[in-house]
Chain A
Amino acid sequence: MSVFFPKAFAPPAARPHRSGAYPGTYPFDAPVLVLDRGRDGEADVAGRDDAARMAALRETVRRLERGGFDALPSSVSPLGVAAIDAVLHEGGLATGALHEILPAVGDGRDSPHDGAALAFASLCLGRFARAEDGTRRQTVPGRILWCRRAGGVFDARPYAPALAPFLDPARLILVETARADDVLWAMEEGLRCGALTAVLGEVFDTDLVATRRLQLAAEKSGVPALLLRRRGAPAATSSGVTAATTRWRVASAPSAPVRDRQGRLVEALGSPRWRLELLRNRFGDPSRADIPSWTVEWNDETGDLAVVSAPVDRSQGPPVERLVG
């Protein structure tokens, strides 16, 4: 366990204090603890009291990170896949955070196919909705705001019947704008409103400033935000830095051949498989050098996602973007 003062939260002496400079109050006199999670199992050794203290410290850290706002206690909604949830901070996708989902590009050519990414985004939305339904005491299920730019002749809307296995399309409020900037504006309005289950935006391009705004708005209201990028980017060129808490790349993967009861091959399509890569995991284990990736299979019948093979070790590959915040 190491103790130090992060630069941004230095005591007032180190930073001229102006009224209004700090939106809230937080204990300047207390040292800030940054915990290396599970490096050598300290938490296990320390016992139950220490576990409670750890939780309190984590909460303190979270408040500091949220700029002193009296933030809602953050929660996570698990994806439902043990192998993936184990990598994520606190075992799931954080609500009150921005998550980015990129479609993959295959073999260096720019593929417009983001069907798998869209499905994964819907799955995440569904998980957020399910987590919220468990805590909410409202008669009307929370709404999900889906913002996108209408694309004219080449437009391809998300198709509600195909999303139905992931989430109830009746919860969706679909917002279509004429300009790309309005998508971000609508998302921010939705996050500020604070009464939604989740907000999703389909964007082609974005930058650090825009995503930072979304991330802050999500942190403040505790509403999860998803950014579904329409255009994939090759990993080598790193498609711009964003402030997202997690960033996923989703590619289609060849599905398993379908066999009938006698074991003969059937001309049919099996359950869809996706290859998930967690390109960025802000609160993840900083000691990990590789990019966690899984091949998962979506089961239509049960509504479950399951890992079909062990994470692929890609540490030998060229250094790809890696941001640990």
Chain B
Amino acid sequence: MAVNAASREAGVRPGQRLADARALVPDLLTAHAEPDIDLDLLETLASWCERYTPWVAVDPLGGALVDSRLPMDATTQSVDRGPTATFGGDGGLFLDVTGCGHLFGPDTEGERAMLADLTGRLARHGFAGRAAIADTPGAAWALARFAERQGALLSPVGGHRALIASLPVEALRLDAATAETLRRLGLRLIGDLLPMPRAPLTRRFGDLLVRRLDEALGSAAEPIQPRVPAPAFRTRLAFAEPVGRAEDIAAATSRLLAALCGQFEKAGVGARRLDLALFRVDGSVRRTDIGTGQPSRDDRHLMKLFEEPLSRLDAGFGVELMMLSAMVVESFEAAQASMPMASGMGAAELATLPGFAAAQAGPVARHEDQRVVQLVDRLAQLLGAGNVVRLSPRASHLPERAVATSPAGLPAAAPGSWARVAALKGTRPTRLFACPEPIDVTAPVPDDPPMLFRWRDLAHRVVRAEGPERLVNEWWRDAPTPGDVQRNPVARDYYRIEDEDGRRFWIYRDGPFNAAADTGVTARWYLHGLCA
């Protein structure tokens, strides 16, 4: 539950009964709490705040402290319209702005300007919020929620101790019970706690109080966990006037890419995954990302990958800021320095293990023609990485499991790895059906290959047949349950057959004919592939 500033002045408090509140304010507007929507809004805000710093976190305590006894004007950012619950009037965001202030001005001026910019922009979007900058997250939290004066919202470097000393103990992010006890003991202000000996405090109130005190003062570390991993490289471009035309956005993207690739050049890395964020004037953020199979710092190639996703991005009423972040980068040097490519059978089998394939990416990648690498990136961007694949053999005798696919960005199996499989030669079909198709069969003797079969409404007379080749389930997997037998039979008897026109098929019976008595399932015939 939450109330807005006007209600609060009229005496309405969260936790009050509605009748009491109505008595105080007859025309009180109420609405149901929707914590999920509040959380979404807070996430949107957090995303928006990434314009200032990548290190943005939603306050994990959030509304845990909702308590009628707390002064409710102490919120970092509160939604002024619509009562809310969990995060409602109490949700907060942490921004790690270390080293960001200088973008707005020198020293303290910059941080003050940034603070004004943040609150100003939020106010324009209709959010009533309070923000504070201090040396520690704990102190900033306390100042934003409990400071009386606006001037105190920017704590000078090293000055947070003096500032928070005058704040009530609740500002230490304590649970309601502890705060209540402290108040009863006459310890109303944080300043009252500072000279107290630590040991009795810990004994009396547990670990939390002292830890919170240390966090607020900066003697204990409290790192901010960013919502998304902070990118190693980032470029941004702010516009004086919002841009909305697709050509302008594309041109800006290509400028950002050129700048980012310059950074890559210096650091000796290439991008694997890039994230482009468009900050729209309506406050929402549109994002799109691209991936490459191998590290790249070719801005023209990367721009080509962005072309299609950009065309799908909606600029709305205009974009005021664009930010391009390299979420994953890989070193070129590391790729080249990794182990030399092993050769022969053993290596081929190893290469089918995903981990090993990734480790091998380096040496193979170096030799692969860059034009092919870029082609694969382009195809994968439009069709999905899972649809542009390489094939490698897998050690399985089951036909449908014998081929492993991996994204084509990764290197293929070593040349020659298919040699072992090639021994199967003509016994395998050139086309294998994803789902074996049931066929109607006429067979003279139950265990023999059929004389006639119907597939897709066409009858084929069998002239020659070869078989059976019995393939049983892999013993190292779980045995199929009785209900599963239909889909995944214990054994399949495969026949290669040729019809009167010379067409060859690969058909199987899902189990020996006499198995029907044991399992209760009648053996059926399926067509699994078309042979050369």
Contacts and interface: CB of A to CB of B under 8 A. Distances in A.
Interface of A: 106-107, 109, 111-116, 118-119, 122, 138-143, 145, 150-165, 168-178, 182, 186, 189-190, 193-196, 251-255, 257, 267-269, 271-274, 298, 300
25 contacts: A109-B458, A111-B458, A115-B504, A118-B430, A138-B369, A153-B435, A154-B433, A158-B430, A160-B391, A161-B418, A161-B421, A162-B531, A164-B419, A164-B421, A164-B425, A170-B391, A176-B387, A195-B375, A255-B498, A255-B502, A267-B465, A268-B466, A272-B426, A272-B504, A272-B531
Contacts of A141: 415
B188 to A, nearest CB: 67
B516 to A, nearest CB: 26
Contacts of A156: 431-434, 529-530
B138 to A, nearest CB: 52
A14 B191 CA distance: 99
Contacts of B435: 153-154
Contact of A159 (B399, B458, B464): B399
Contact of B502 (A152, A193, A253): A253
A186 B379 contact: yes
Contacts of A195: 369, 371-372, 375
B472 interface: no
B532 A118 contact: yes
B518 interface: no
A176 B403 contact: no
B350 interface: no
Max chain A C-beta neighbours (<10 A), residue from B371, B372, B425, B496: B372
B335 to A, nearest CB: 15
Max chain B C-beta neighbours (<10 A), residue from A156, A172, A190, A274: A156
B412 A171 contact: yes
Interface in B370-407: 371-372, 374-376, 378-379, 382-383, 387-393, 399, 402-403, 405
Contact of B390 (A109, A139, A172, A252): A172
Contacts of B426: 162, 165, 269, 271-272, 300
Contact of A158 (B379, B431, B437, B458): B431
Main SS at interface, chain A? mixed
Given A115-B431, A162-B428, A196-B372, 15 more contacts: A113-B505, A115-B503, A153-B435, A159-B403, A160-B421, A161-B424, A162-B424, A189-B378, A189-B379, A193-B375, A254-B463, A255-B464, A255-B502, A268-B466, A271-B426
Contact of A140 (B369, B392, B456): B369
Nearest to A159: B432
Contacts, number: 207
A134 to B, nearest CB: 16
Given A155-B434, A267-B465, A112 B369 contact: no
Max chain B C-beta neighbours (<10 A), residue from A170, A171, A272: A170
Main SS at interface, chain B? mixed
Contacts of B456: 112
3 nearest A-B pairs in the assembled complex, by CB-CB distance? A119-B532, A115-B530, A195-B371
Nearest to A143: B372
B501 A269 contact: no
Nearest to A299: B426
B500 interface: yes
A307 B432 CA distance: 28
A257 B463 CA distance: 10
B326 interface: no
A176 B383 contact: yes
A165 B422 contact: yes
B466 A182 contact: no
B429 interface: yes
A190 B374 CA distance: 10
A109 B379 CA distance: 37
A162 B500 CA distance: 22
B142 interface: no
Contacts of A111: 458, 503
Contact of B428 (A116, A138, A159): A159
Given A113-B530, A300-B425, A170 B464 contact: no
